[in-house]
């Protein structure tokens, strides 16, 4: 039941020189019941000269015919019925990047190219997204994500797409980790391809390009670029959005890449030099809770992370509502057992915080 898959890059980015190979036909073996999706933002004239042929399948067409999304933003696939060799010919002088994605296993698959001006809504089924443009300074985002955990609505999101091998699609968001949160303002997705599980009830969202999060909202997700493969050092401070001197609770659920060993430090700054530092080894999916009049959170890491979070701040620029949990005694919960080191840090921090606000 392996995924039939081939991820084939017909060309590199537009700023590279055209390869002399470019106009030589590419021969791609294709199997029956495979759906082919052409992902590109290249100009129409060029894509029309980009031919696609399979004699046994009576296909004699061009890439343009398969690269223009339907009104819901998804692509109609080119379906292969008979085993054959597909011959793709790039026109002379063409430099457009064209990716070919193949799948023949995933049920109810929706493939979406994301353009700078795209705003793609949720569609029932397994949804996969490919950035086909790279607008300056913008990243892929999921905005206004609504889930209905009470009615079994859930969302799981993965880096990469079905069929990826190195690494395989890797989870970066799971609405189940916070049963009481039903709305997320923005998930930062600092990768070019991701997928989302099918969901049945009460889910909606918008996928588009947006700005990187610098101030934590009432709920969302932050991520290192190129998750989960990053091995770069990073040190980023996020502001906390809150009203005046209100005391807030902050809940964070980091996802790390378990195949690499590294440590991530999350430091909550409360002002007056008071900090709560928590360290997380990449082998555990730790959780962090903090409460008080906090100003910012610093995340330092030598590897990849995606952190799903929410606060109970009354300050929000959101549409929709966040059903935040009650302010509870901060504690550390990990799926694989908690680390006593982290727990100790947190307990001290809680004492400090209570002194500060008490």
Ligand X SMILES: *[C@@H]1O[C@H](CO)[C@@H](O)[C@H](O)[C@H]1NC(C)=O
- Residue 41 token pair: 């933002």
Query: Contact region for ligand X (CB under 6 A) — 96-104, 124-132, 245-253, 271-279?
Result: 245-253
- The DSSP output letter for 48 is H
User: Which of 242, 239, 266, 240 is closest to 253 using CA atoms?
Assistant: 266
Size of the site for ligand X (CB under 6 A): 13
Q: Please, which residue, 178 or 205, has the CB nearer to ligand X?
A: 178
Query: Contact region for ligand X (CB under 6 A) — 144-152, 186-194, 243-251, 273-281?
Result: 243-251
Strand partners, 63: none
Binding status of residue 83 toward ligand X by CB under 6 A: yes
Which of 180, 263, 335, 354 is the binder for ligand X (CB under 6 A)? 180
Is residue 51 a contact partner of residue 61, using CB atoms and an 8 Å limit? yes
CB of 181 to ligand X, least distance (A): 9
Binding status of residue 314 toward ligand X by CB under 6 A: yes
β-pairing verdict for 275-281 and 263-269: antiparallel
Give the CB-nearest residue to ligand X: 325
Binding status of residue 312 toward ligand X by CB under 6 A: yes
User: Residue 270 and residue 295: Cα distance in Å, rounded?
Assistant: 6
Binding status of residue 81 toward ligand X by CB under 6 A: no
CB of 73 to ligand X, least distance (A): 32
Is residue 287 a contact partner of residue 334, using CB atoms and an 8 Å limit? yes
Q: Please, which residue, 229 or 294, has the CB nearer to ligand X?
A: 294
Binding status of residue 326 toward ligand X by CB under 6 A: yes
**Residue keyed to tokens 């029309």:** 48
User: Residue 56 and residue 63: Cα distance in Å, rounded?
Assistant: 18
Which of 19, 327, 347, 354 is the binder for ligand X (CB under 6 A)? 327
Is residue 111 a contact partner of residue 75, using CB atoms and an 8 Å limit? yes
Query: Contact region for ligand X (CB under 6 A) — 6-14, 199-207, 214-222, 246-254?
Result: 246-254
What strands lie across the sheet with 51-54, from one edge to the other?
Answer: 26-30, 84-89, 51-54, 59-62
Q: Is 291 helix (H, G, I), strand (E, B) or coil?
A: strand
DSSP assignments along 330-346, one per residue? -----TT---HHHHHHH
CB of 83 to ligand X, least distance (A): 4
Q: Please, which residue, 248 or 268, has the CB nearer to ligand X?
A: 248
Query: Contact region for ligand X (CB under 6 A) — 41-49, 116-124, 157-165, 325-333?
Result: 325-333
267 backbone dihedrals φ, ψ, rounded to 5°: -115, 120
Is residue 46 a contact partner of residue 40, using CB atoms and an 8 Å limit? no
Query: Contact region for ligand X (CB under 6 A) — 43-51, 89-97, 142-150, 241-249?
Result: 241-249
CB of 314 to ligand X, least distance (A): 5
Binding status of residue 32 toward ligand X by CB under 6 A: yes
CB of 313 to ligand X, least distance (A): 7
Which of 249, 264, 316, 322 is the binder for ligand X (CB under 6 A)? 249
Q: Please, which residue, 81 or 279, has the CB nearer to ligand X?
A: 81
Which of 325, 334, 343, 356 is the binder for ligand X (CB under 6 A)? 325
Which of 59, 291, 294, 342 is the binder for ligand X (CB under 6 A)? 291
**How many Cβ atoms sit within 10 Å of the Cβ of residue 151?**
11
Which of 51, 95, 247, 275 is the binder for ligand X (CB under 6 A)? 247
- The DSSP output letter for 276 is E
Contacts of 154 (CB under 8 A, 6+ apart): 147, 174, 175, 176, 197, 199, 203
Binding status of residue 31 toward ligand X by CB under 6 A: yes
Distances (CA, A) of 73 to 119, 122, 129, 157: 8, 10, 10, 19
Binding stretches for ligand X (CB under 6 A) = 31-32, 83, 180, 247-249, 291, 312, 314, 325-327
């Amino acid at each position: 039941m392996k995924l039939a898959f081939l991820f084939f890059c017909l060309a590199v980015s537009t700023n590279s020189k055209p390869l002399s190979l470019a106009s030589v036909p590419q021969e791609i073996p294709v199997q029956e019941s495979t759906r082919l999706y052409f992902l590109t933002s290249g100009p129409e004239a060029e894509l029309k000269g980009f031919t696609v042929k399979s004699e046994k399948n009576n296909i004699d067409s061009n890439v343009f015919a398969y690269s223009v999304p339907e009104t819901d933003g998804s692509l109609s696939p080119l379906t292969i019925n008979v085993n054959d060799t597909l011959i793709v010919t790039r026109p002379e002088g063409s430099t457009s990047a064209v990716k070919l994605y193949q799948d023949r296993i995933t049920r109810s698959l929706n493939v979406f190219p994301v353009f700078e001006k795209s705003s793609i809504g949720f569609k029932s089924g397994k949804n996969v997204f490919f950035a086909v443009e790279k607008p300056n300074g913008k990243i892929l985002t999921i905005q206004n994500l609504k889930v209905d955990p009470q009615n079994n609505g859930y969302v799981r999101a993965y880096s990469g797409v079905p069929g990826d091998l190195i690494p395989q699609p890797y989870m970066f968001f799971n609405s189940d980790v916070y049963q009481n949160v039903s709305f997320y303002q923005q998930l930062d997705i600092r990768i070019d391809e991701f997928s989302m599980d099918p969901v049945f009830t009460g889910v909606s969202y918008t996928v588009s390009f947006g700005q990187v999060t610098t101030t934590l909202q009432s709920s969302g997700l932050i991520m290192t670029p190129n998750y989960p493969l990053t091995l770069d050092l990073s040190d980023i401070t996020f502001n906390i959005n809150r009203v005046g001197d209100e005391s807030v609770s902050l809940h964070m659920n980091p996802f790390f890449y378990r195949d690499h060993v590294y440590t991530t430090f999350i430091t909550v700054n409360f002002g007056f030099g008071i900090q709560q530092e928590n360290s997380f080894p990449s082998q555990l999916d730790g959780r962090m809770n903090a409460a008080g009049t906090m100003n910012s959170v610093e995340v330092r890491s030598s590897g990849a992370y995606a952190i799903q979070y929410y606060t109970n701040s009354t300050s929000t620029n959101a549409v929709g509502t966040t059903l935040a949990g009650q302010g509870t005694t901060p504690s550390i919960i990990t799926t694989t057992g908690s680390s006593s080191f982290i727990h100790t840090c947190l307990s001290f921090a809680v004492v400090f915080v209570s002194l500060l606000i008490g």
